[in-house]
Amino acid sequence: MRGRFTHCISEDEQAEPHPCADYAAMIQSIAFVTYAVSDIKSARHFYEDILGLRLTHEAGGEWFEYDIGDTTFAISAADAQHPVPVRGAVLAFEVSDLDAEVARLHKLGATFRREIADTPVCRFAIVLDPDGSEVIIHKRKTSP
């Protein structure tokens, strides 16, 4: 039986390889995530001085990169194709101590959209950058 969103294989059918199976191995990691910002100076203050990210690369005064683990977060100047606040994908930073980080951010005057929430797999809070884009401060729970 073939449905719009699913494919069930009967005993008489053999699974066909996915047409993109050979290409999946080409994707190795997430290279970077970027947020468009309306004011580079305010955004740099938030991400560097409030969140504590360290600038690792800069290009032309409009693109700033912060290497975090094995990926990169970047901010860039907003334009007609990249408006603010960011909609769609949301950035989440993993922290070692969520309670301490949230307390530190409160002390520095960060604006919170959501205080600490608890889920079965993690705890998180949501702060807003100067453009109102959400930044999740996240702590994954350890497996029992």
pLDDT tens per residue, range 34-90: 999 999 999 999 999 999 999 999 998 999 999 999 899 999 999 988 899 888 888
Higher per-residue pLDDT: 49 or 3: 49
Instruction: Report the CATH number that the domain containing residue 116 is assigned in CATH.
Output: 3.10.180.10
Residue 5 is assigned to a structural domain of this protein = no
**Please, are residues 32 and 79 in contact by the beta-carbon 8 Å criterion?**
no
Residue numbers of the domain that contains 43: 29-140
Residue 103 is assigned to a structural domain of this protein = yes
Residue 33 is assigned to a structural domain of this protein = yes
Residue 23 is assigned to a structural domain of this protein = no
Residue 66 is assigned to a structural domain of this protein = yes
Q: pLDDT grade, residue 6 (50/70/90)?
A: very low
Q: What is the pTM of this model?
A: 0.74
The count of domains in the chain is 1
Residue 42 is assigned to a structural domain of this protein = yes
**Please, are residues 61 and 40 in contact by the beta-carbon 8 Å criterion?**
yes
Residue 17 is assigned to a structural domain of this protein = no
**Please, are residues 113 and 134 in contact by the beta-carbon 8 Å criterion?**
yes
Residue 117 is assigned to a structural domain of this protein = yes
